[in-house]
Amino acid sequence: MNERLSFTPLGPYIGAQVSNLDVSRPLSDAQFEQLYHGLLRHQVLFLRDQKITPEQHRALAIRFGDLHIHPVYPHAQGVEEIIVLDTHQDNPPDNDNWHTDVTFIDTPPAIALLASKVLPEAGGDTLWTSGIAAYEALSEPFKQLLAGLSAEHDFKKSFQEYKYRKTREEHQRWQQAVAKHPPVQHPVIRTHPVSGKKALFVNEGFTTRIVELSEKESDALLGFLFAHATKPEFQVRWRWQPDDLAIWDNRVTQHYANADYYPARRIMQRATVLGDKPR
């Protein structure tokens, strides 16, 4: 049996399509090793025609490490590690901004796996951008400026209170999440724990300020970094088909779920693998 995976790069910096793999079956060690090394190299991988149940989704994700359970998003029935992102007329999209998932915790996710379940007739693409490419494009003096800086990441920046007032139970869950997740600090530049590559690690979804700077300096620098990190040169864009699977390295990427399809319906399911403390 041929266990060799094929990776077709989708751009010079980020993104590759994987073929010759069916993730509904348990992966052999050789298949998993190729998938993991491909992920480190390309930062986000795409697989077509992967019909997987939430249980199979979890089984694949857990090969990468322990899974995160989200404090506010709903989950698949009986599988709490699989988030259901169901956007429609009464539940507008909330991830149509550039963000890195769950950077509001001390050990932000290393990897995420997103499966498409129900798609609009048109639109709903997702874009990813490479924090490694963004960092490497900076001048040496600018890299030195950023080297010693740390930034604050806050759950409340993306999960604002007014969105969670529909029911008393929902509001209580939001309040508990806020109490459990005070703002945390991470380095502005992080080093990938496996590859050793440096990457920008601030994102518009959760980063509120650079700790060592005054408010105006922080706003100016973050404004530049948010714009720089998301230049088209560093991006890949994926046009979803039903039963696609995207796997990305959350340590060194940001992504943006285009909300151009709203108010049509779009259902995605995500597994999120916990990472280490950024350094």
Active site amino acids: 99, 101, 255, 270
Exposed, middle or buried, 223 (CB in 10 Å: 0-12/13-18/19+)? exposed
CA–CA gap between residue 181 and residue 92 (Å, rounded): 24
- Which residue, 238, 270, 248, 235, is CA-closest to 48? 238
- Which two tokens mark 91? 């539940």
Sign of CA dihedral 27, 31, 110, 261: negative
- Which two tokens mark 132? 């490694």
Give the Cβ contact number of residue 121 at 10 Å: 7
C-alpha angle 67/115/21, rounded to 5°?
A: 95
Q: Which residues pair with 3 in a beta bridge?
A: none
Exposed, middle or buried, 141 (CB in 10 Å: 0-12/13-18/19+)? exposed
Three-class secondary structure of residue 87 per DSSP:
strand
Exposed, middle or buried, 41 (CB in 10 Å: 0-12/13-18/19+)? middle
